[in-house]
Amino acid sequence: MNSPLGAPSLRPDLERIASWIAPGSRVLDLGCGDGALLAYLRDYRQVRGAGVEISDAHVIACVQRGVEVIQQNLEDGLALFDDKQFDTVVLSQTLQSMHHTEHILREMARVARFGVVSFPNFGYWPHGWSILRGRMPVTGQMPYQWYNTPNIHLCTLRDFEDLARDVQVRILERATFNEAQEVKLFPSWRSTLALYRFEA
């Protein structure tokens, strides 16, 4: 998907997520960061959206963009939201830092018909090579040392697909990236980031 003429450029993964969201729909973005995706969806896809974010700086950035945001820890769940209150719920590059991974996926399936998640792919082949050398991997997608990483539940593509089946959501689409490039050949080994769109 290419951004509309004059639109601000999004990261390739956010651009793909935007392409999966129907114009005019209702979107909840969990861990919405500075609100860039929600602002883009509002301005170029006529989406009505809200974000959930814990960082003070990111909440301020959302407000400055005119994005509706609730400051809350996602670990507290999504009890604020009604069943099927949204059409799509997004969890971008946050799944791996959640303590209660199954619970957040079930809650996503409760509050929206469709969900989108993205996460670093721990199956990326240099990670295995790093472990064989006796070191935890440090890469562009996972730039932290073992002792200061926010990533507590790392997984591979197959791991996530098994979890999706266990929580009874149906995967509709998958996209994988290495930096800005989409990866289609051997994505389990060659991609650093995975995106999934699923249906509750």
Kindly report, residue by residue over 69-85, the tens digit of the pLDDT: 999 999 888 999 999 99
Average of per-residue pLDDT across 94-102: 90
Q: Residue 105 pLDDT more than 90?
A: yes
Which of 176, 196, 170 shows the shortest CA–CA distance to 188?
176
pTM, rounded to two decimals:
0.89
Lowest-pLDDT choice from 44-58, 87-101, 147-161, 171-185: 147-161
Residues 129-175: pLDDT tens digits? 777 778 776 776 667 676 766 667 889 999 999 999 999 999 999 99
Query: Residue 178 in 3-state DSSP?
Result: strand
Q: Residue 177 pLDDT more than 70?
A: yes
Distance CA 110, CA 33 (A): 22
What is the CATH topology of the domain spanning 12-123+151-199? Rossmann fold (3.40.50)
**Which is more confidently placed, 62 or 136?**
62
Supply φ then ψ for residue 64, to 5 degrees. Answer: -65, -30
Sign of torsion over alpha carbons 114, 31, 120, 46: positive
Q: CA of 155: how far to CAs of 13, 60, 164, in Å?
A: 18, 32, 12
Q: What is the residue extent of each domain of the chain?
A: 12-123+151-199
Farthest-apart Cα atoms in the chain, separation: 50
Answer yes or no: are the C-beta atoms of 57 and 77 closer than 8 Å.
no
